[in-house]
Structure 1
Amino acid sequence: MKEHYKESGVNWIGKIPAHWEIIKVKNLARNNGSLFIDGDWIESDVIQKTGVRYLTTGNIGPGKFKKQGNNYISEETFHSMNCLKALPGDLAISRLNEPIGRACILPYDEPRYVVAVDIVILRPDSKYDKQYISYCMNTVGYSENAAIMSRGTTMKRISRGGLGNFSIPITSYSEQKLISNFLNQKTSEIDTLIEDKEKLIQLLEEKRQAIITEAVTKGLDPDVQMKDSGVEWIGEIPEHWEVVKLKSKGEIRGRIGYRGYTTEDLVDVGKGAITLGASNINKLNQLDLSQKSFISWEKYYESPEIMVQTNDLIFVQRGSVGRFCIIEDKVENITINPSLLIIKEYIENTKHLYWYLNSNYITNLVTLLTTSTAVPMVSQEQLKNFNIILPPKQEQNKITGYLNHKTKAYDITVNIVNTQINKLKEYRQSLIYEAVTGKIDVQEMLKETEQEEVSSS
């Protein structure tokens, strides 16, 4: 029988089945033993390695708990501060960091938890299924609504009162349970497909990395005479190649000292120059100008030595340390912020240097440098002293052409698989939305699945 629908009165929800209702989140917890309350303000000086497990918003993923961090507070602190006792199975909602309003169920790894003040613990009345509520709170429309309602400049957050006034669609407990069980099964199947494709990408990237490393450290001639490079991680290199310091082949510059700037030097679009930061270099080591920041003309012209030009190479020294990109297109009025270094006036083949920085040798070196210091970074002096393995210029050109061609097939395949992953994620989101708003009949879909399984057996 075809379901009758009615208007929900909530934009992101749209129409719902006639027998469903709309309820505000704060009204999910009305009975004794139910909760809708913020966590506690825990100072860093009371954090320790044993006691009551302390969770932050970083542990709250969209629908999934994230096992990161290993912080605790003592029993004494827990009791003296009269902390909220969050229990395994409670629904935890993050008021901070996008997607704002995301929620997950706390795992059964600990008998109890203490949670940060930006986490709301929802322990709803028994007639509501927590897993179903979690799915509602992790739909795209719900998250977009939370983002609109959030406040703040550097870190956006939403109040518990704001969250409490959000609406979700609700049906009978048995139907909530049916929907959450259906989504558990279907999203698990989708997640498995996504994980398989992500493993394929990882394998492709490892093979791509191996090809690059082999070419820039061993060359293209398998019969060439070799010699010890004098660099432990590299081993042997062609005997006519040389090992030099990067600083001997180019200028490494950064925004240092009085040439630094504050947020007061940032201006609106059209009123200054683009200033690049770590976020403008993506994980594929490409320049990404989808989001731009601008610095005043005064600060821009103050530092002509770090104005970005074609054929410059940009290196991330803080943040996503070790990422880099080459400026291949003509650019105007761009500079860098203090998180970046710029390699200019490189007298060899800059694209060969780009491929060299992609090698396992540099990846391992960056990892060593960033894990051996309190603040993960690569200093300007350290970058200057990077060992560069250089073949003659003509051979650099051949290696560059080879890698441009050889990596293209890998990049195309990775892009195809990434597109497939994105489509699976979109389907997952669509399925959740349609199920929790009653736009698909879960019971009918389950019957169809059972019939297909019987037919195929």
Structure 2
Amino acid sequence: MLMYLSNKPYPAYKDSGVEWLGKVPEHWKVRRLKNWLGINRRVLPEDTDPEYTFQYVDIGSVSTGRLTETPKRLRFGNTPSRARRIVAHGDTIVSTVRTYLKAVWYADNLQEPLIASTGFAVLTPDKNTLPKFVSYICESNPFTDLVTSESVGIAYPAIAETRLGTFSVCIPPLPEQAAIARFLDHTTQRVQHHIHAKQKLIKLLEEQKQVITHQAVTGQINVQTGQPYPAYKNSGVEWLGDVPEHWEMRRNGWLFSERSETGYGSLPILEVSLHKGVGIRDMEAGERKQQMSERDRYKRAKKRDIAYNTMRMWQGAVGVVPADGLVSPAYVVLKPIDRIESDYYGHLFRTDAYKRVVKNYSRGIVSDRDRLYWDEFKRIMSVVPPTGEQTAITRFLGHTNHRISKHHTAVKREIDLLHEYRTRLIADVVTGKLDVREAAAHLPESAPPALAATCQDGTELADPGQNPYP
């Protein structure tokens, strides 16, 4: 991101007289929003035809600089009373309720006007103002922080349209607005190329982790050699296919018994996460008081047991218990028999293939509320490698997953840094801390290419498709 470093401050500055702006370029003007832009100029009248349809944007569907959900097509006769603000091409919408969300979005390339919630202020630029420049000001961190700090209310902070209109901003001449918008368009697009490449890499790393886990726990690969086993047999289970010849198949009822013990109220509360397995629950004071009164109903789970959430087992809400504790009555606690390595089955139960099997055995009124109780779980067939191989597979996956997690963390940190860079750059450019006029004049016409993902130290991340086996 050397483009940021190559830009210098303007040659001369003046005091803006506005605390959040500080010093601004000498030739820029300082004006209040209401004197520079139109605010909420157009609204849907109450006598609109009830059959009139439109696309609607609510507070929850907007983040800083982007839509998080596709606008919904609604009919006026069925819409909430807050669906009234008309948004046209070139407008910028700024949330005036729940302002901590920093929901700001530039309406570009609209095929038809949108209708936004009255929880937004719709800013409409005049002919001597570049619409995209307005959006960058409103998206900048100093501006959104100002909106948040001036909001009233704790649980549902909001700012009045009239108060928003009194905010002062610094405005460069129109040609300079165009140069700033062009520079930021180009640079933020380049940043987004970096972010997109790294997000794709994270997805590939997650897919690699799933593939390696599936190959290891189902015996497709011998983790000690990195090669298939010498001989296989038909498992008799459709989802599993062939397994190593010396591995066994057993119903879960032969591998585990159900632990249903209550009355251990002094133990910590445990919870099952889709992503992290079983862990000790960190509770707020009020929640802790409520849980204390219910502890006698909670089930004991002992270290090395396996616990799962009956309603979310099919999504992977299962894991090995790290320490003695209590789980919700809605959980099932599995006590392994002597020759069972809990961590091996913790990996097996979280594979995509096993989750599909669990889904078929789960029961409920609607599919997304299906539950897997002990009576169904114990009927499911599972593979049983020799105990020594279970241990070897567990160790291998622990090492491999640690390596993948390190890559994942490095890429995630890179994404965070890129977001921080983008935020800082927009703020410095729209408030005149950096002069980008020369840089904008020398930008290429074509879009910047996507760049390879790298670690923080600049080295290229390992290919997620490389062979992980010894």
Mapped to 2, the partners of 1:117 and 1:253 lie a distance apart of: 52
Matched, 1:419 2:413: yes
Q: Provide closer, same or farther for how the CA distance between residues 72 and 286 of structure 1 changes in structure 2, counting only shifts above 3 A.
A: same
Q: Which amino acid aligns with 2:57?
A: L
Residues 56-86 of structure 1 deviation map (CA, whole Å, 9 limit, x = unaligned)? 23432321234536x32236668x9994433
Mapped to 2, the partners of 1:37 and 1:288 lie a distance apart of: 53
Mapped to 2, the partners of 1:40 and 1:306 lie a distance apart of: 58
Show the counterpart of 1:264: none
Mapped to 1, the partners of 2:84 and 2:327 lie a distance apart of: 45
Matched, 1:18 2:26: yes
Match of 1:303 among 295, 305, 318: 295
Structure 2 stretches of 5 or more lacking a match? 1-9, 223-227, 445-470
Matched, 1:35 2:40: yes
Show the counterpart of 1:54: 56
| 1:171 Cα deviation from its structure 2 partner | 2.7
SS at match of 2:424: helix
Show the counterpart of 1:101: 102
Matched, 1:158 2:152: no
Q: Provide closer, same or farther for how the CA distance between residues 89 and 381 of structure 1 changes in structure 2, counting only shifts above 3 A.
A: farther
Show the counterpart of 1:356: 348
Report if aligned partners of 1:215, 1:399 keep a CA contact under 8 Å in 2: yes
Show the counterpart of 1:454: none
Report if aligned partners of 2:18, 2:168 keep a CA contact under 8 Å in 1: no
Q: TM-score, normalised by structure 1?
A: 0.73
SS at match of 2:218: helix
Greater RCO (CA < 8 Å, at least 6 residues apart): 2
Aligned length: 415
Matched, 1:6 2:15: yes
Show the counterpart of 2:242: 236
Q: Which amino acid aligns with 2:229?
A: D
Mapped to 1, the partners of 2:332 and 2:347 lie a distance apart of: 16
Mapped to 2, the partners of 1:357 and 1:100 lie a distance apart of: 37
| 1:444 Cα deviation from its structure 2 partner | 3.4
> Which stretch has the larger CA shift, 122-131 or 187-196?
122-131
Report if aligned partners of 2:95, 2:119 keep a CA contact under 8 Å in 1: yes
Q: Which amino acid aligns with 1:379?
A: R
Show the counterpart of 2:460: none
Q: Provide closer, same or farther for how the CA distance between residues 174 and 284 of structure 1 changes in structure 2, counting only shifts above 3 A.
A: farther
| 1:186 Cα deviation from its structure 2 partner | 0.3
Mapped to 1, the partners of 2:89 and 2:313 lie a distance apart of: 34
Mapped to 2, the partners of 1:130 and 1:195 lie a distance apart of: 26
Q: Which amino acid aligns with 2:131?
A: K
Q: Which amino acid aligns with 2:140?
A: T
Q: TM-score, normalised by structure 2?
A: 0.71
Show the counterpart of 2:171: 170
Q: Provide closer, same or farther for how the CA distance between residues 449 and 112 of structure 1 changes in structure 2, counting only shifts above 3 A.
A: closer
Show the counterpart of 2:448: none
Q: Provide closer, same or farther for how the CA distance between residues 378 and 27 of structure 1 changes in structure 2, counting only shifts above 3 A.
A: farther
Q: Provide closer, same or farther for how the CA distance between residues 127 and 353 of structure 1 changes in structure 2, counting only shifts above 3 A.
A: farther
Mapped to 1, the partners of 2:358 and 2:179 lie a distance apart of: 50
Q: Provide closer, same or farther for how the CA distance between residues 81 and 432 of structure 1 changes in structure 2, counting only shifts above 3 A.
A: closer
Mapped to 1, the partners of 2:260 and 2:145 lie a distance apart of: 41
Show the counterpart of 1:68: 70
Residues 323-351 of structure 1 deviation map (CA, whole Å, 9 limit, x = unaligned)? 555554x58xx76679x846454443232
Structure 1 stretches of 5 or more lacking a match? 260-271, 451-457
> Which stretch has the larger CA shift, 87-96 or 176-185?
87-96
SS at match of 2:401: helix
Report if aligned partners of 1:209, 1:358 keep a CA contact under 8 Å in 2: no
SS at match of 2:63: coil
Matched, 1:249 2:243: no
Mapped to 2, the partners of 1:114 and 1:402 lie a distance apart of: 55
Mapped to 2, the partners of 1:164 and 1:176 lie a distance apart of: 21
| 1:430 Cα deviation from its structure 2 partner | 1.3
| 1:423 Cα deviation from its structure 2 partner | 1.8
